[in-house]
A = this chain, B = another copy of it.
Amino acid sequence: MTGRGVDRRSFLTGAGGAGIGLGLGALLGETQSAAVSPAAAADQPAIVPFWGPHQAGIATPAQDHLHFAAFDLVTSRRQDLTDLLATWTATAAALSVGDPGGTIDDDLLRPPGDTGEALGAGPAHLTVTFGFGPGLFVSGAADRYGLQGSRPAALADLPAFPGDRLDVARSGGDLAVQVCADDPVVAFHAVHMLARQARGVATLRWSQLGFGRTSSTTSSQETPRNLMGHKDGTNNLHADDVDQLDQHVWVGDEGPTWMRGGSYLVVRRIRMHLEAWDRATLGEQEQTIGRHKSSGAPLGGTEESSPVDLDATDQGGQSLIPARSHIRLAAPSTNSGARLLRRGYSFADGVDALGEQDVGLFFICYQRDPTQQFVPIQQRLAESDALDEYIVHTSSAVFACPPGADAGGTIGAALLSG
């Protein structure tokens, strides 16, 4: 078998041999551990290993582009779900190394196995991360797949927060697919292929494109700016701090067996009222955030990396970091030490009927238990954050992302075989 390390281009030109289809999981898994030839490494460096103890796309350095998709299950059969996850896992593993999701061969009488738009684009650090929504475990009163007893307590429906203006059609979902890549066409292609494979079993409920990551997820990445022009995520958890991830991100012994090594995902589409923000003075903006705009330093500090000193006061005894500022209310010390691994992206979805841009931040965070992390933090922010004057949450969802799989395995298999 010659498929390993073959990208979409060489596949098509024949260098990788024809006939590669799905079911390559066992083979492709070798790329994570096996030595790669120097030539292959030079040609193909942009691969994030798919197989492993944790799913890719959580502690992976944030790529430049996001395509997030939520699906509703339309089947009543548990086996369909099991089969879909097997197909999706194999496809995600193939795409992650730059292989196509199926053949485009010379069979003129069948639809091409791969949809084709990413041919030649390479793997582009593609990651595909799968999550299970509450609807998988219970839908209304129905336990449609016999999974009700497996629902973790941490996968609770999110409460309604003050100020929420949620679009139901863009919230929730039974299955989540978070696709990140450095090439937006590669990201699009992954969602396209998975949606096509889901026909008859699951339908696309909503999707969201994102550009311009708004968080660093490793200590070596520079802190980016969000569309308000502020550095975002300076004090994010970093994926290279393994102890912190074990403490705050990966589910441990407290969770059901099938979730250990997994993580809970909360997404919130946060629209920004940019026109109002643009009219605020520099002082108002900095007092709202609690950081200087240009440097990103906390008020009272001199550099972005300056520690956030919530006790610092000016000569008149006033707090330098205001009581309602965003960074004070979101700080771990304000929230009993709770922290999140953020992975947000900017979005821009055109113009609304009033001529205002429909833009903002698609907030993504991972954590060990949303009921102890995202929920209490967001409750505090929704009640008091000065930033609430300029933002509104328009969609929301929570998912349980199971651990990774060994090469050739299936993401979520431990739940469905349980």
A356 to B192, CA, bound (A): 11
Taking a contact as CB atoms under 8 Å apart, the answer to whether B107 and A282 are in contact is: yes
The interface centre, meaning the residue of A65, A205, A227 with most chain B CB atoms within 10 A of its CB, is A227
Q: Which residues of B contact A111 (CB under 8 A)?
A: 278-282
Identify the closest chain B residue to A196 (Cβ). Answer: B278
Once A274-B192, A294-B119 are accepted as A-B contacts, the answer to whether A281 and B229 lie under 8 Å apart by CB is no
**How many interface residues does A have (CB within 8 Å)?**
67
Can you list, as one digit per residue, whether each of A345-366 has a CB less than 8 Å from chain B (1) or not (0)? 0101111010111010000000
Can you list, as one digit per residue, whether each of A173-185 has a CB less than 8 Å from chain B (1) or not (0)? 0000000000111
Identify the closest chain B residue to A115 (Cβ). Answer: B229
Minimum Cβ distance to chain B for residue A354 (Å): 9
How many copies of this chain are found per oligomer?
Answer: 2
A209 within 8 A of B: yes
Q: Which residues of B contact A206 (CB under 8 A)?
A: 350-351
Minimum Cβ distance to chain B for residue A280 (Å): 6
A409 within 8 A of B: no
A225 to B100, CA, bound (A): 14
Taking a contact as CB atoms under 8 Å apart, the answer to whether B192 and A228 are in contact is: no
Can you list, as one digit per residue, whether each of A26-66 has a CB less than 8 Å from chain B (1) or not (0)? 00000000000000000000000000000000000000010
A255 within 8 A of B: no
Residues of A within 8 A of B (CB): 12, 65, 67, 104, 106-112, 114-120, 169-170, 183-185, 188, 192, 195-196, 203-209, 211-212, 222, 224-230, 274-275, 278-283, 285-286, 293-295, 346, 348-351, 353, 355-357, 359
Could you jot down 26 A-B contacts, CB within 8 Å? A108-B282, A108-B286, A109-B281, A111-B282, A115-B229, A116-B225, A117-B225, A117-B346, A119-B225, A120-B222, A170-B350, A184-B212, A185-B212, A188-B227, A188-B346, A188-B348, A192-B227, A192-B357, A196-B278, A204-B356, A206-B350, A207-B350, A209-B348, A209-B349, A209-B350, A211-B211
In the A-B complex, list the 7 residue pairs whose CB atoms are closest, starting with the nearest. Answer: A116-B229, A108-B283, A184-B211, A185-B212, A203-B355, A117-B229, A204-B351
